[in-house]
Chains A and B, each alone.
Chain A
């Protein structure tokens, strides 16, 4: 249960085509992440799957069944919204019970599931509160609780963590990942945070302007980005892209090298790129050094050890790991 297929799905708002014909298959039990810049159509795509938006053309299939014309309430999917979208007039208990009550489940069964969900989400003490009396993290837990009790064939998350602070976000990220391992239910997760994408996904779908740029496992995207956009989008800090003479040497229009694949040295090294240190960001474990003056890429970011001794204005020599250089042609595609 839980395979989702999009067949030539098109979405237009008025005359603007937000999603051009798009094909995608999300396998049963998979944790798929839609990632891309703001406005690229991630939410729209998720809402098309949910049935909250009508498709302009094409088909949506769930477990092989065409649900294009089926209303959201009958698709058997659960969704967690960025705004949590809890029912403000109901207690936490009633919120979680709501989908079960709508499905006509017996009271005893409801109570049992509420207890179990509340326990696993640390909500037991809050069951009789209204959403307005909860913190953001607790509200998000309630939203997740409401989604799991009905045992959907797939979970849809639309940036569920973006209203939470950084620490809470990391915690919830783990909880959701663990939930996926435990339930083994298909999950589609929308985010614009590529760290969330990399850490949680079985497969990442990178979108830009409604078009799928690449689909693959996090490591596939990291090691073999299909084009310049994916190369720049996946990885943190971003991949350095160089054009011009340096790229020509590799018979490419553009070459890319990730910050972690560059060695930095204060002594002159043969064949190395020479530059001047701008800002060095010390994170403790690592140092991100932003270097000016390298031809074709300014600034160039390098990831060095936490205790590297460089300061603003130092001259440094950069040697890229030759085996880690990505090459792109003038259309931006990987060579």
Chain B
């Protein structure tokens, strides 16, 4: 059945075409965003310039004065990097313990951690806001890093746990016999062996942090506001400036797209460390 399909006309031509169509559907909004970002605000809303227009870089050149882009971008970088670091710092030892010293309820704890992701964020919106304000950390990097790290922790632990599980327990035990303490084990054996997995976990966590909008929008006003806040904040009043908005949006998602693109290979490579039975 599968063999027939592969050799049929559909198998040879249909599948690639289908794949391209699907890819296009996903890619189109981004393409359109970037496309629009090269139009002037005036051109962007005119149907006659839908495809043919004189491209301009003004939207990008004026991004800083129009939107104070770099301030938001800096906040995004700071919070995403720190939150990822915190999540890994907590997640690696946690996943290590669960993978190599499972106790009776380890599986339950993992399930429970994941189940927290099913809680609607809106349910804790008010408590979180009051807590942040009450503690005097509203609109600080600290609260954003904390929240971003916490909401990604379940995913981070799960991912690391599955990667760590692939490391033969014998190797960890050999380390113990060779006189390594727990931190040494993590540093000398676990991290080098699971490097690829840790890198992809970190990347994913970073992307999630960067893209996070619910909390970053609601727990900040100006000081710690990220790119999500920037885009969200300009939705209504500047609704007509499609060109500018497209440019700043492209600049907001751009770093992540580029990062993902470059890390692809390195991630795959990291996963194929010298196979040893």
Contact = CB atoms under 8 A, between A and B. Distances in A.
Interface of A: 50-52, 71-74, 77-79, 81, 83, 85-89, 98-99, 102-103, 130-133, 146, 150
B168 interface: yes
Given A85-B170, A85-B174, A88-B193, A73 B277 contact: no
A89 B193 contact: yes
A87 B176 contact: no
A155 B174 CA distance: 13
Given A83-B168, A83-B170, A132 B176 contact: no
Interface of B: 168, 170-171, 173-181, 184, 188-189, 192-193, 273-277
Contact of A52 (B168, B173, B192, B277): B173
B181 to A, nearest CB: 6
Given A81-B170, A85-B171, A89-B192, A73 B177 contact: yes
A145 B44 CA distance: 72
B274 A132 contact: yes
Contact of B275 (A87, A99, A132): A132
B276 A88 contact: yes
A150 B178 contact: yes
22 contacts: A51-B176, A52-B173, A52-B176, A71-B181, A72-B177, A79-B173, A79-B174, A83-B277, A87-B171, A87-B175, A88-B273, A89-B273, A98-B178, A99-B178, A102-B178, A102-B179, A102-B188, A131-B274, A132-B274, A132-B275, A150-B178, A150-B179
Nearest to B172: A85
B177 A71 contact: no
Contact of A73 (B179, B192, B274): B179
Nearest to A163: B277
Contacts of A103: 179
A146 B175 CA distance: 11
B173 A73 contact: no
Contacts, number: 74
Given A83-B168, A85-B171, A87-B171, A132 B178 contact: no
A87 B189 contact: yes
Given A73-B181, A99-B179, A150-B179, A81 B274 contact: no
Nearest to A78: B177
Given A88-B274, A131-B274, A102 B177 contact: no
A99 B193 CA distance: 17
A244 B189 CA distance: 60
A73 B175 CA distance: 8
A326 B277 CA distance: 45
B277 to A, nearest CB: 7
B184 A71 contact: no
Contact of A72 (B168, B171, B176, B184): B176
Contacts of A102: 178-180, 184, 188
Contacts of B175: 87, 98
A86 B173 contact: no
Contacts of A79: 173-174, 177
Given A72-B177, A73-B180, A87-B193, 15 more contacts: A50-B177, A73-B176, A73-B177, A77-B177, A79-B174, A81-B174, A85-B170, A86-B174, A86-B276, A88-B171, A102-B188, A130-B274, A131-B274, A132-B276, A146-B178
A77 B176 CA distance: 10
B56 to A, nearest CB: 51
Shortest beta-carbon contacts, A-B, top 6: A132-B274, A85-B170, A99-B178, A85-B174, A88-B276, A72-B176
Nearest to A77: B177
A85 B174 CA distance: 6
A72 B174 CA distance: 10
Given A73-B181, A102-B178, A132-B274, A85 B173 contact: yes
Nearest to B193: A89
